Structure 1
Amino acid sequence: MSHTLILCIDAPLQSWGQRARGVLRDTSMEPTKSGIVGVLAAACGVERDDEKQIAELATLRLGVRVDREGLLERDYHTTQNVPTTQGTGHRTVVSERYYLADALFLVALEGSLELVTRLGEAVTKPHWPLYFGRRAFVPAQPLFDCIQDASLEDVLRSHRWLEHPERVAELDDAQRKLALRTVVDCLPSAPGAEARNDVPVSFADGARRYATRTVLVDDVPLTPAMIPTEETRCS
């Protein structure tokens, strides 16, 4: 039987970087596998170079449902007195950093009951502070939603829309007929599979390493049964 941990990823600002070096720091439009595994590792107190425990977390099958698309924003960081590559002086470096504003995601993680239960407890009482890409980008509400005895696909198709009830009340009938974008781990042989180089092997400073996974990008219809009438959570 499949067991799926459901998380609510909600924050005013988020950054899910795929290229974290140099003067250009990008963000994916939805949480990456390395980003979610990093959040789980922080919750569990896993050290950055503990490859065994990172590998265990990375075995979870990941699905993301975009319950509200974020706005892509950019800011600039200026760093002074950066040594030159020749070591003969210093310079000022301007970097461009991208982030998502006002995004909301349902993240589903499929695995053994023992593992998803342990992770649900960890994100409820995290070992280290949790944030979404940058230390200032902290969650706007608790991450833990629930654990379901259901497949990842069933969760993405049927779980309650995470949009805030006050926002839902403001939508007209046309706006309620949405298609919610999904990004789901899949086999490399699946038609339409896309490669993503974001499976963490190690988060060690100066020695970060990643492997490749394949995903399917699709969407699910927002049905009337998924639209919340009050703020409830499953048990």
Structure 2
Amino acid sequence: MTSLLLRLAGPLQSWGERAAFPAVRDTASFPTRSGLIGLISAAEGRGREEDPRDYATLDFTVRVDRPGVLLSDYHTVGGGYPKNRTAATAGGGNKGAAVITRRHYLADAVFVVAVTGADDEIDRIGAALESPHWAPHLGRRSCAPDEPFLLRTGIDDPDAELRTRVPLSSPHRGDRQPVRRNGTDTVRVDFLRERPPADGSGSVVNLSAQDMPVSFAPQGRIHGKRHLYRTTEDLPQSLLAEPADLHRRLIDYALEATP
């Protein structure tokens, strides 16, 4: 087994979990499994009709560098056009009226994700993410990721990398601050795992999410439930990087693995 590391950061992200178009498009507070597998399968050039359960053996660990701020964006679809150019209503009619939608986003959120799987599978996915068939996005096509996006591949111990090596984004002014432990040089950071941490570190909260993809088919999307474990763990305060220094530190980290 081996891993690769993705850094998911950008002005906006949206990881829909529950609501259906058109009334409300929600977002989970973290990257969903369906969103991450969708990102990977798009990079590999797979169509929506292909079975996403091919990725069932992948394991995801999410480090929450910055949870972001929930943003609700007001949209209208149609309106002011002839009936044959206006969106249909929920009842199947077409009255020429605008359809109101509200789309939720995470603004200024940052996550680092370890993707773990069989060596050949991670090698193939890493190559696709370096030269994607379709451009990656953070839950929606309008949400482009910042660089660096793919931090590293060929990681043998992703937990150690996330806990001790990958630079940690400092919060913006006004954001929820990482909690510094009194009398120590550590900060408290949240993780989301698909299994409890092997060493039993941190306080563990059991969660569930309806984000296990069964089908991405446009007319038959199906998602199952999965269990998650949220932990709050102490990381070295030295990982915190100020905004002016963060990009350089991330690039230096990524280049350490380059031959």
Q: Which ranges in structure 1 are unaligned for 5 or more consecutive residues?
A: none
Alignment: residue pair count:
226
Other-structure match for 2:7: 8
Matching residue of 1:184: 193
Residue equivalent to 1:211: 224
Partner of 2:61: 63
**One-letter amino acid of the counterpart of residue 88, structure 2:** P
Q: CA deviation at 1:86?
A: 4.6
Partner of 2:149: 143
SS in structure 1 at match of 2:231:
strand
Identity %: 33
Amino acid at match of 1:25: R
Structure 2: which amino acid aligns with 1:117?
Answer: D
CA distance in 1, matches of 2:55, 2:7: 18
Residue 83 of structure 2 corresponds to which residue in structure 1?
none
Q: Measure the CA separation in 2 of the matches of 1:33 and 1:159.
A: 24
CA distance in 1, matches of 2:92, 2:73: 28
Q: 1:162 to 1:119 in 2, by over 3 A?
A: farther
Could you tell me how far apart the structure 1 residues matched to 2:40 and 2:101 are?
28
Q: Shift of the alpha carbon at 1:129?
A: 1.5
- In structure 2, the partner of 1:83 is 88
Structure 2 counterparts to residues 8-157 of structure 1, below 5 A: 8-22=7-21, 23-51=23-51, 54-80=52-78, 81-84=86-89, 85-87=91-93, 89-157=95-163
Preserved CA contact (<8 Å) 2:13 2:107? yes
Q: Give the match's secondary structure for 1:178.
A: strand
Whole-Å Cα distance in 2 between the matches of residues 119 and 74 of structure 1?
Answer: 33
What's the offset of the Cα at 1:225?
4.8
Instruction: Please give the per-residue CA displacement for 1:24-58, whole angstroms capped at 9, x wherever unaligned.
Output: 1111111000111010011000111110xx22223
Q: Which has the larger radius of gyration?
A: 2
One-letter amino acid matched to 2:193:
V
Closer/same/farther in 2, CA of residues 225 and 140 from structure 1, 3 Å limit: same
Aligned to 1:222: 235
Q: 1:58 to 1:4 in 2, by over 3 A?
A: same
Label 1:147 to 1:220 Cα distance change in 2 as closer, same or farther (>3 A): farther
Higher mean displacement: 224-233 or 6-15 = 224-233
Specify the code of the residue in structure 1 equivalent to 2:127.
Answer: E
TM-score (ref. length: structure 1): 0.85
User: Any gaps of 5 or more consecutive residues in structure 2?
Assistant: 79-85
| Cα distance change on mapping 1:160 and 1:117 into 2, 3 Å | same
TM-score by length of 2: 0.77
Give the stretch that moved more between structures: 149-158 or 40-49: 149-158
Deviation string 1:132-159 (CA, Å, 9 cap, x unpaired) is 1222211111421112443443333223
